[in-house]
Amino acid sequence: MRFRSEAALALFLLATPVAAQEVNCAEAVTQIELTFCAEQAWLRADEDLNLAWSLAVEQARAIQSALPADAPVDIEEDLRRAQRVWIDFRDLACAAESHMAWGGSMAPMLVYACRERLTRQRTADLRLFGEVN
């Protein structure tokens, strides 16, 4: 099910010439432009997430190294498992949100907007773990 919706999203984006054009997202009007801009915002959020992830992994390793060698925990593995679960949650939650516009051209934009919002929230959580702890 998720594969089908992601494949449809990919086909929609491949069929649009927006990427080849200059789009001023502050003045986006058409649905193609709005979807393109939503995707770009999500990609920027994802870049921020990757930076926060690196900090969080470093912090997990530092915490782990301070524990006794026989400690029955693997903080980095727990963090990785949590991230994989979060990605599944994000994708499913955003697919559900996009169903508000099921079958419409606005659905992909809703997916990207949701992914950006949830990614920024997760980035804040990872920064809290990576920078504060």
Look at the block and give the residue holding tokens 């980095």. 76
Q: Could you give the CA distance from residue 21 to residue 31 in angstroms, rounded to a whole number?
A: 14
Amino acid in the structure at residue 76: E
CATH number of 2-132: 1.20.1270.180
Angle at the Cα of 22 from the Cα atoms of 114 and 99, rounded to 5 degrees: 25
pTM listed for this prediction? 0.80
- The string of pLDDT tens digits covering residues 70-85 is 989 999 999 999 999 9
Instruction: Tell me the two tokens of residue 69.
Output: 């060698």
Kindly list the domain boundaries of the chain, sorted by start residue: 2-132
Tally the residues of the chain: 133
**So what's the pLDDT on residue 13?**
53
Q: Could you give the CA distance from residue 94 to residue 101 in angstroms, rounded to a whole number?
A: 12
